[in-house]
């Protein structure tokens, strides 16, 4: 079945550092890909998405490119802030199937 | 526009009891999905309802059930609670199904089974 693999956390960075969180997927067909973020005590919020190969999703300085050849959707941000501290989930959806999530990567940004 | 509302936010139950959780989707959204989030297993899909019909079901025992009403509000029920059912239960609503459809999540119900 479909699956998502994310890099294990936690990831600890200093403010203004560059962030990469790796995400690879296995899916039949051509899924849509998502990054969700979960702040402490909250539900999940959609951060960005891409629906076809080579699409780049971007939001709030974060971006990720749908790479079909490497089945990847890595999340990047050029300069993280303390307020970016959260858990980040990579997810996919194929056709009418429910979202399949990775295990999540906890990011802590220190001032 | 109000977001997805889940009630209650916190719940403590005893083993063997049953529990009902409620989810009110965003107005106009007809699809509601439920997920269980635990530190060990991450986010696991429970079921999805669209226009009162269960469209998809995850790999959970029959103790977990749900339903959706004509106003798209949804409830999930867990009977004969076990300690392992302690988790954050998240509800998500969306306009419909299909590729790229954005799901909006509620804040969740934190269930603790003692």
Residues A94, A99, A102, A105, Cα dihedral to 10°: 130
CA distance B100 to chain A (A): 5
Spatial distance between the Cα atoms of B113 and B67, rounded to a whole number of angstroms: 22
Per-residue pLDDT tens, chain A, 111 aa: give them.
Answer: 889 999 888 999 999 999 999 999 999 888 999 999 999 888 999 999 999 999 999 999 999 999 999 999 999 999 999 999 999 999 998 877 788 999 999 999 999
- Nearest Cβ partner of B97 from A96, A102, A104? A96
Residues A21, A31, B108, B78, Cα dihedral to 10°: -130
Q: Which residue of B has its CA nearest to A50?
A: B100
């Amino acid at each position: 079945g479909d699956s998502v693999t994310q890099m294990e956390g936690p990831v600890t960075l200093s403010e203004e550092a560059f962030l990469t969180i790796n995400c690879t997927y296995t899916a039949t067909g051509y899924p849509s890909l998502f990054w969700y973020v979960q702040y402490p005590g909250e539900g999940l919020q959609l951060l960005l998405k891409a629906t076809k190969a080579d699409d780049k999703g971007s939001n709030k300085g974060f971006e990720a490119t749908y790479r079909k050849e490497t089945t990847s959707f890595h999340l990047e941000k050029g300069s993280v802030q303390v307020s970016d501290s959260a858990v980040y989930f990579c997810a996919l959806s194929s056709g009418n199937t429910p979202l399949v999530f990775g295990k999540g990567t906890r990011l802590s940004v220190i001032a | 526009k109000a977001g997805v509302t889940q009630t209650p936010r916190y719940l403590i139950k005893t083993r063997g009891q049953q529990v009902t959780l409620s989810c009110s989707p965003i107005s106009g959204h007809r699809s509601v999905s439920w997920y269980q989030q635990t530190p060990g297993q991450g986010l696991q899909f429970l079921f999805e309802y669209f226009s009162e019909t269960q469209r998809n079901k995850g790999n959970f025992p029959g103790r977990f059930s749900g339903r959706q009403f004509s106003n798209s509000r949804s409830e999930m029920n867990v009977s004969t609670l076990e300690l392992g059912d302690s988790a954050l239960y998240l509800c998500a609503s969306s306009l419909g199904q299909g590729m790229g459809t954005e799901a909006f999540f509620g804040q969740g119900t934190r269930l603790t089974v003692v």
